[in-house]
C-alpha cells in the first residue's frame, strides 16, 4: 500500500483529516514538530508518527519511504517551501490545503523540477480551491470565450484559529486579483458588490484567496476576482485595514493578535460542522457582455476541506495524477467536485 504522511496532523484541520484518512483505510503516518502532541494522537488513532521540524536539514530523509505528503500545517508560508523542497529531493508527491496566493505561486514555479523528479505538486486541494476551480472550469465550458471570472463564497460560520492566524499573516499584503494574466496586489476589500450566492443577495468584497491563482491556471481566463460574503462591520474592518496595515507589520502587535486568536476558541465543534454549509457562486463574462452564472452548494467548510483534500490525495496515491504542478479541475475536470461531499450539482443561470 502507498505510504501517506500527514504533516501538521494534530492541528484543527490536520486532526479532522487524519481521522477521516484512518477511517478510509489510508493508514496515514502522523507527523509534525510536536512529539508530545503526536504521541497522544498516535495512541488515539493507533497510527505511527514521526516528529521533525521543517528547519531540520534531514526532512527529505524522513520522507524517503513516503509516497505522498499531505501538508495541513499552516500558515503554509512557513511550511510549504520546506516540504516541497524535501519532496523533490526524496521523490515524494506533495498535496496541501493552502489558500495562500504567494504559496501557490511559489509551488507552481517548481513545476519543472517536480516533473524531472517525477512527482506531483498539488497545492490548494481544499477549500475554496477545489469547488471554485471546478465551478470556474464549468463556467468556461458554458462560455468558452470568457475573459472575466468573478468567484465568491458564503459561509455563516466563523473560521478556526488557524484560519484566523493565516489571515493575519497574509493581511500585510492587502488584497489581490488577476488582471490580464498578471497577479496584481490591491488594497484589502478593494471592490464590493452584491451577490446572490444562493441564499438571496448579500454584500461581498474582494479577498486575496487562492482561486486568483488556481482558477487562472486551470481556465486561462486572464481576469479573476474572488469575493467573499462580508456583512457591513467586516467590510468596514477590512477597509480600515488599509490604514492599520503598517501596524500589523510590527511583530509585537501581530503576536498579540495571534495570541488573542489562540485564546478565542478551539475551532468549530462537531455539532457546528454538522450544521454548516457553504455556497459557491461564479460569474463568467465575455468581452461582448455575455454573462453566465453558476452556483454550487456544499456542507461545512471544514468538512469540505477534508473531503476535497482526501479525494485529491487518494488519486495521487493511486498514481492517477501526472507529475508537475496540478490543479483540481485542470487534472480531473469540472465534474470532480460533484463526487465529493454530496455536492448536488451545478445550478446554472443566464446564457448560454
Ligand X SMILES: NC(=O)c1ccc[n+]([C@@H]2O[C@H](COP(=O)([O-])OP(=O)(O)OC[C@H]3O[C@@H](n4cnc5c(N)ncnc54)[C@H](OP(=O)(O)O)[C@@H]3O)[C@@H](O)[C@H]2O)c1
Q: Strands 148-154 and 277-285, how do they pair?
A: antiparallel
Kindly state whether residue 20 participates in binding ligand X, applying the rule CB under 6 A: no
Strand boundaries in the chain, DSSP class E = 4-7, 29-32, 49-51, 68-71, 93-96, 120-122, 148-154, 175-179, 182-186, 192-196, 201-206, 223-229, 277-285, 291-299, 324-325, 347-350
Kindly state whether residue 213 participates in binding ligand X, applying the rule CB under 6 A: no
Kindly state whether residue 123 participates in binding ligand X, applying the rule CB under 6 A: no
Exactly one of 127, 189, 221, 343 binds ligand X (CB under 6 A); that residue is 127
Site size with ligand X, rule: CB under 6 A: 28
Would you say 130 or 177 has its CB closer to ligand X?
Answer: 130
Would you say 120 or 166 has its CB closer to ligand X?
Answer: 166
Kindly state whether residue 160 participates in binding ligand X, applying the rule CB under 6 A: yes
Distance between CA atoms of residues 167 and 3, nearest Å? 32
Distance between CA atoms of residues 21 and 23, nearest Å? 5
Would you say 126 or 324 has its CB closer to ligand X?
Answer: 126
Kindly state whether residue 322 participates in binding ligand X, applying the rule CB under 6 A: no
Q: Which one of the spans 29-37, 105-113, 134-142, 331-339 is the region binding ligand X (CB under 6 A)?
A: 29-37
Task: In angstroms, give the least distance from the CB of 309 to ligand X.
Answer: 7
Q: Which one of the spans 70-78, 149-157, 239-247, 330-338 is the region binding ligand X (CB under 6 A)?
A: 70-78
Instruction: Name the 3-class secondary structure at 17.
Output: helix
Cell 523528479 belongs to 117
Exactly one of 123, 152, 162, 328 binds ligand X (CB under 6 A); that residue is 162
Task: In angstroms, give the least distance from the CB of 97 to ligand X.
Answer: 4
Distance between CA atoms of residues 198 and 114, nearest Å? 39
211 contacts 226 by C-beta, under 8 angstroms:
yes
Distance between CA atoms of residues 306 and 314, nearest Å? 12
Exactly one of 99, 123, 152, 334 binds ligand X (CB under 6 A); that residue is 99
Kindly state whether residue 21 participates in binding ligand X, applying the rule CB under 6 A: no
Instruction: Name the 3-class secondary structure at 135.
Output: helix
Q: What are phi and psi of 29, to 5 degrees?
A: -90, 130
Cell 501538521 belongs to 8
Exactly one of 28, 102, 126, 208 binds ligand X (CB under 6 A); that residue is 126
Kindly state whether residue 78 participates in binding ligand X, applying the rule CB under 6 A: yes
Kindly state whether residue 8 participates in binding ligand X, applying the rule CB under 6 A: yes
Exactly one of 45, 73, 149, 230 binds ligand X (CB under 6 A); that residue is 73
Cα 255 to chain centroid distance, Å, stands at 24
Tell me which residues touch ligand X (CB under 6 A). Answer: 8, 10-14, 32-34, 54, 73-76, 78-79, 97, 99, 126-127, 160-163, 165-166, 267, 305
Amino acid at each position: 500500500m502507498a505510504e501517506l504522511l500527514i504533516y501538521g496532523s494534530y492541528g484543527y484541520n490536520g486532526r479532522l483529516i487524519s481521522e477521516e484518512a484512518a477511517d478510509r483505510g489510508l493508514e496515514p503516518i502522523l507527523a509534525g514538530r510536536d512529539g508530545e502532541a503526536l504521541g497522544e494522537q498516535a495512541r488515539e488513532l493507533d497510527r505511527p508518527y514521526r516528529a521533525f521540524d521543517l528547519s531540520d536539514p534531514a526532512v527529505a530523509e524522513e520522507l524517503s519511504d513516503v509516497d505522498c505528503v499531505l501538508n495541513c500545517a499552516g500558515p503554509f508560508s512557513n511550511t510549504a517551501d520546506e516540504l516541497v523542497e524535501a519532496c523533490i529531493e526524496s521523490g515524494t508527491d506533495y498535496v496541501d490545503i493552502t489558500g495562500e496566493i504567494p504559496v501557490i505561486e511559489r509551488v507552481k514555479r517548481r513545476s519543472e523540477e517536480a516533473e524531472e523528479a517525477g512527482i506531483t505538486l498539488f497545492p490548494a486541494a481544499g477549500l475554496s480551491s477545489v469547488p471554485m476551480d471546478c465551478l470556474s472550469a464549468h463556467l468556461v465550458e458554458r462560455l468558452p470565450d470568457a475573459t472575466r471570472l468573478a468567484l465568491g463564497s458564503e459561509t455563516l460560520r466563523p473560521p478556526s484559529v488557524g484560519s484566523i492566524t493565516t489571515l493575519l499573516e497574509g493581511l500585510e499584503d492587502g488584497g489581490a486579483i488577476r488582471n490580464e494574466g498578471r497577479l496584481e496586489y490591491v488594497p484589502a476589500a478593494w471592490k464590493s458588490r452584491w451577490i446572490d450566492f444562493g441564499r438571496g443577495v448579500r454584500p461581498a468584497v474582494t479577498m486575496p484567496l487562492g482561486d486568483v491563482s488556481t482558477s487562472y491556471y486551470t481556465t486561462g481566463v486572464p481576469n479573476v476576482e474572488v469575493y467573499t460574503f462580508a456583512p457591513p462591520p467586516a467590510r468596514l474592518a477590512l477597509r480600515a485595514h488599509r490604514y492599520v496595515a503598517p501596524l500589523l507589520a510590527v511583530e509585537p502587535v501581530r503576536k498579540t493578535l495571534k495570541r488573542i486568536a489562540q485564546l478565542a476558541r478551539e475551532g468549530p465543534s462537531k455539532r457546528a460542522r454538522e450544521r454548516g454549509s457553504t455556497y459557491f457562486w461564479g460569474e463568467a463574462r465575455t468581452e461582448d457582455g455575455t454573462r453566465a452564472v453558476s452556483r454550487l452548494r456544499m456542507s461545512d467548510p471544514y468538512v469540505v476541506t477534508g473531503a476535497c483534500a482526501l479525494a485529491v490525495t487518494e488519486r495521487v496515491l493511486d498514481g492517477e495524477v501526472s507529475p508537475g504542478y496540478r490543479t483540481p479541475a485542470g487534472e480531473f475536470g469540472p465534474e470532480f467536485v460533484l463526487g465529493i461531499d454530496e455536492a448536488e450539482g451545478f445550478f446554472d443561470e443566464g446564457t448560454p
